[in-house]
Amino acid sequence: MSDRETATGVIGLVQEFVNTIDLQDGPDELADSGTLKAWLVARRLLDEADAVGDADYRHAIALREAMRGVIGANSGLPAYPLDLATLNEAAAASKLRMRFGADGRPRLEPEARGVVGAMGRLVATLYVAMQEDDWTRLKLCGRQACRWAFFDRSKNHSSRWCTMASCGNREKARRFRTRAVTSSG
């Protein structure tokens, strides 16, 4: 949906990865290992020469949902141990190391190559994004069926839906119906 708010920079990359699937209406941009590879190569996270297998694909999809999980903390949701374990495993498998680059600045880089390294780069991106002041503006839509990662540009950080027009109104209508049923029963 084009009217949903997007972030830029590292927060934007995390948001873009998580939102490669629209859980409510589809589609999934990362439908198979081929589309996953194209997505990673286009963002310079993976070399064109690297192969992406079915197991790699399943890891990437699990990592995507683990990232969605930790974004939920910005919407008041608890951190789930499974999500944290998935993130920790991706970081460990890729052998993330702190390294000073040619510009004299430190960054986290994976020692592992291929898709495992690419997953490490995504975890490192998440780590950097979480240090940014705007990180807490990245939230999950409060509509359970949606859970889209949106960037809350409201002054007091009070937005709860990816868009008021779609999820906000649908959720209000659902709650109204629930109340109506409860009070008539």
Q: Where are the alpha helices (DSSP H) in 3-53?
A: 9-18, 33-42
Piece of 5-13, 14-22, 33-41, 159-167 that binds Zn ion (CB under 5 A): 159-167
Asked if 88 and 20 count as a contact pair (C-beta separation under 8 A), the reply is no
Beta-bridge partner residues of 149: 140
- Closest to Zn ion by CB, 138 vs 162, is 162
Residue matched to tokens 């889209």 = 148
- Closest to Zn ion by CB, 24 vs 136, is 24
Indicate which single residue of 72, 96, 167, 171 sits in contact with Zn ion (rule: CB under 5 A): 167
Q: Which of residues 55-114 bind Zn ion (CB under 5 A)?
A: none
Least distance from C-beta 141 to Zn ion, angstroms?
A: 3
Least distance from C-beta 170 to Zn ion, angstroms?
A: 8
Main-chain dihedrals φ then ψ at residue 21, nearest 5 degrees: -120, 135
Asked if 171 and 162 count as a contact pair (C-beta separation under 8 A), the reply is no
Least distance from C-beta 163 to Zn ion, angstroms?
A: 7
Count of residues that interact with Zn ion, criterion CB under 5 A: 6
Piece of 6-14, 71-79, 92-100, 138-146 that binds Zn ion (CB under 5 A): 138-146
Piece of 14-22, 46-54, 99-107, 158-166 that binds Zn ion (CB under 5 A): 158-166
Cα–Cα distance measured from residue 151 to residue 5, given in angstroms and rounded to the nearest whole number: 5
Q: How many residues does the chain have?
A: 185
Q: Could you tell me whether strands 96-100 and 149-151 are parallel, antiparallel, or unpaired per DSSP bridges?
A: unpaired
Indicate which single residue of 123, 126, 141, 149 sits in contact with Zn ion (rule: CB under 5 A): 141
Least distance from C-beta 166 to Zn ion, angstroms?
A: 6
Hey, what's the torsion of the CAs at 79, 10, 116, 65, to 10 degrees? Answer: 30
Q: Binding of Zn ion at residue 146 (CB under 5 A)?
A: yes
Asked if 94 and 111 count as a contact pair (C-beta separation under 8 A), the reply is yes
Indicate which single residue of 148, 149, 160, 171 sits in contact with Zn ion (rule: CB under 5 A): 148
Contacts to Zn ion by CB under 5 A = 141, 143, 146, 148, 162, 167
